[in-house]
Chain A
Amino acid sequence: MTNIESADQAKQDSSYREVLTELLYQLADDDFIVSFRGSEWLGLAPHIEEDVSFSSITQNTMGHAVLYYQLLEELGEGEADVLAHERPPEKRRNAIYLEKQNGDGSYLDEPYYDWALTVIRQYLYETFKKVKLEALTKSSYVPLADAAQKVLMEQTYHLAHWKTWVRQLQDSTEEAKTRLQSRLKEAWGEFLDVLELGPKANDMEKHQLIVAESVLQKKWLEEIKETLAVIPAEPLQKNKGSGRNTEHTQDLTQALVTLSEVYDQDKNAVW
């Protein structure tokens, strides 16, 4: 398979274009929902200095989503802002685990947000993101390979940051260990969804857009084993369903209502 250099070239092969857009939606929607959850944390982190650093990571992550939405825009999917704000849950491809609320309450009212959930989620996600990005640098779609290369440049810091948090908390008090373990157990029941590439996975591999799921998953598991003190014995699952299959929970609905509240007041206005 030869490389596809541009959106125009991709559009000439409808099967290639379809599989490519599927992959891009997964990438964009994952980063977008993760950064939305991050933006809810703003001002509420365990200490001020961490709040500032975490926000940079959140901004970077939303910046990555924007890059993918722009690639979709070039492929004729519509404007990036429309893709981010208007698509209903049944069109979203992000993994369900990533849409999970940060804890009890809302960011506006009684936010009992759980730092253990955030540390585990961010760590597991950023580890997989790195594995995926490294694979994407060899994608047959050159604009995506280029984007992956750029994202990797700053994403390495994100992963290092969350790795520091995991390492330190799992090596501290009993309470911290217990909290982390329970969030890890919960993640184990849902994270398979994140690791999957959805119904078009085989075509993605065939078009050399990205390597097979099994390759990515194996690499991810090897990576996390180096950091996590305890790995659950059970097999990974997706017991809340498959976001890649556009299945979602109420948590995504809450997120979409919030993030599009102002946008929805007048979709045609300039904001």
Chain B
Amino acid sequence: MGEKHDGSGFYQEYEVFSKKSDKAPLQHQFSLLAPNEDMALSIAQENFMRRENVVDVWVVPRSNIRSMTSEERKQWTKRLDNKDYRTTKGYGYLRKKWRDKEQDMLDEKEILSWKEVKKG
């Protein structure tokens, strides 16, 4: 039976992800061995999240994940530190300008507080 008939094919690798709450992003937990995805899902929560809240669990066969290789991690994750234009850091001078015009800066804190607007 070529591929071992000793049952070693039982051990397939799955990566396990979970969400702590509706607002939380999916987080990688760990990996486990299981014979198929239904069984992997059935054991994932009790293996890695016995003591924490869970609202969702994903299991993914490791072979379906295209991750960076060791080389790619080294080469693709480095950047020059010259991208202030992409962040608020590059626009800090506006604060003083607006202050001169007696206006407040619409910064991150201010904008993210705009969940509600006046009714009617």
B71 within 8 A of A: no
Given known A-B contacts A49-B32, A168-B36, A56 and B46 have beta carbons under 8 A apart: yes
Q: Is the CB of B38 within 8 A of A49?
A: no
Residue of A nearest to B38 (CB): A164
Residue of A nearest to B36 (CB): A168
Q: B30-45, CB under 8 A of A: which get 1 and which 0?
A: 0011111011001101
A237 within 8 A of B: no
Per the bound structure, the CA–CA distance linking A157 and B38 in Å amounts to 13
Q: Is the CB of B42 within 8 A of A160?
A: yes
Q: Is the CB of B50 within 8 A of A161?
A: no
Per the bound structure, the CA–CA distance linking A160 and B45 in Å amounts to 13
Q: Give the interface SS of chain A, mostly helix, strand, loop or mixed.
A: helix
- The size of the chain B interface, using a CB distance under 8 A, is 15
A47 within 8 A of B: yes
A-B contact count (CB 8 A): 32
A146 within 8 A of B: no
A50 within 8 A of B: yes
Cβ contacts under 8 Å, A178 to chain B: none
A52 within 8 A of B: yes
Cβ contacts under 8 Å, B36 to chain A: 168
Q: A10-54, CB under 8 A of B: which get 1 and which 0?
A: 000000000000000000000000000000000000011110110
Per the bound structure, the CA–CA distance linking A160 and B32 in Å amounts to 19
Q: Is the CB of B38 within 8 A of A47?
A: no
Per the bound structure, the CA–CA distance linking A12 and B27 in Å amounts to 54
Given known A-B contacts A47-B10, A47-B33, A164 and B46 have beta carbons under 8 A apart: no
Given known A-B contacts A47-B10, A164-B38, A53 and B33 have beta carbons under 8 A apart: no
CB distance from B109 to the nearest CB of A (A): 39
B21 within 8 A of A: no
Per the bound structure, the CA–CA distance linking A49 and B40 in Å amounts to 9
Q: Is the CB of B33 within 8 A of A49?
A: yes
Q: Is the CB of A168 within 8 A of B46?
A: no
Cβ contacts under 8 Å, A57 to chain B: 46
Most chain A C-beta atoms within 10 Å of own C-beta, residue among B36, B42, B47, B50? B42
A-B contact pairs, 9 of them (CB 8 A): A47-B33, A52-B47, A53-B42, A53-B46, A53-B47, A55-B46, A164-B39, A168-B36, A168-B38
- A contact set with B: CB distance below 8 Å: 47-50, 52-53, 55-57, 157, 160-161, 164, 168
Give the top 6 A-B pairs by smallest Cβ distance, nearest first.
A56-B46, A53-B46, A53-B43, A49-B43, A164-B42, A49-B32
